Amino acid sequence: MSIKNIHNNIREIHLFGFGSQTLVVRVDDRDQREWLVDTPICNSLNDYRIAHCGIAEATHPFEIVRMNLSGTFFFACLEGEGHVLVDGEWRSVGAGQACLQPPFIPNALKAQKRKKWKLCWVRYQPAPQKQSVLSLHAPALGMFDAAPLHFAIEGLHSEASQRASIHMLRKWAELVHSYVQSFSQPFHGDKRLMAVWQAVENRLDEDWSLARLAQIACVSKEHLRRLCASTLGRSPIQHVTFLRMQHAAELLATTDHKIAQIANRVGYVNQFAFSDTFQRWLGCRPSTYRNQNK
């Protein structure tokens, strides 16, 4: 279910809410935010570029908004129901579902009134695109059994808090990462979809129609729609827009290119049309995003 009333401009928020509880493991002690201090450390998380992972029991008014998220964020719902910002819309996430949000896209989630929300998460460190541990073509929102990941994070936390066996820590960290990978690679080995998105990523400035995408995949337009809905949680054209906005956000945050140049590089001749689309997907204008992330 989509919740359409997204604010025109979202802003940084970190509000746990009364009664919310967390269990966290972090890679090192460099991040000194209050909610991370005194949590156990596992250096083996660095093998998978994981910054921290944890379990939360969230109650209203729990709300987290991160405008400058430099690494991938994954979370899965164990119990209850909450909201996550996906593709410019607040959408409900309940038990048996998960969401993966790549870098340079605002990361936002919040609990609902009178509903407890239990979730587990894995936050990755920044990584060069070619070395990224996760694909841009992971589902925006999809089905996922969170229980095994929950147990893996609990095991990692217990080990890091007590005996801290390096061998066991490495095993738990590998298990945590493996569960996230199982969600992030829904069409691993599907050469049809791999060919489509590789072509789009290499030429974001071109005019991509559904018919052209289907031709590359060698399937009908309707079949391509079904494949994308089941593996990505969005339509083929929506995923093209997602790839464009994600790359535009990265360019805005990491380069000094003019906005008009960035618009052209991701397939928009009209800078105003680009700006409107960017605001719908990321909650703010490109100039505002740049100012907040430089």
Is residue 4 scored above 60 in pLDDT? Answer: no
Angle in degrees, 0-180, between the axes of helices 236-254 and 191-202, rounded to the nearest 10: 40
Q: Domain-by-domain residue ranges, the chain?
A: 2-184, 191-293
Is residue 214 scored above 50 in pLDDT? Answer: yes
Give me the percent of the chain exceeding a pLDDT of 70. Answer: 90
What is the predicted pLDDT for the residue at 137?
A: 64
Reported CATH class of domain 191-293 = mainly alpha
* Mean pLDDT within 265-279: 94
Is residue 177 scored above 90 in pLDDT? Answer: yes
Is residue 63 scored above 70 in pLDDT? Answer: yes
The burial of 95, by beta-carbon neighbours within 10 Å (0-12 exposed, 13-18 middle, 19 or more buried), is given as: middle
Q: Specify the fold of 2-184.
A: Jelly Rolls (2.60.120)
Phi-psi label, residue 127: left if phi above 0, alpha if psi -120 to 50, beta otherwise: beta
pLDDT tens digits, one per residue of 8-17: 456 778 888 7
208 or 182: whose pLDDT is higher? 208
What is the predicted pLDDT for the residue at 8?
A: 47
> DSSP character for 128?
-
Is residue 264 scored above 60 in pLDDT? Answer: yes
55 or 136: whose pLDDT is higher? 55
In the chain, where do the E strands start and end? 2-3, 13-15, 21-26, 50-58, 63-66, 73-79, 81-86, 89-94, 97-101, 107-111, 117-124, 141-143
180 or 283: whose pLDDT is higher? 180
The answer for residues whose C-beta is within 8 angstroms of residue 284's C-beta and 6 or more apart is 8, 9, 10, 67, 278, 292
Is residue 257 scored above 70 in pLDDT? Answer: yes
pLDDT tens digits, one per residue of 136-146: 666 678 889 99
Q: CA 4 to CA 23: how far, in whole Å?
A: 32
- How wide is the angle at C-alpha 258 spanned by C-alphas 253 and 262, nearest 5°? 70
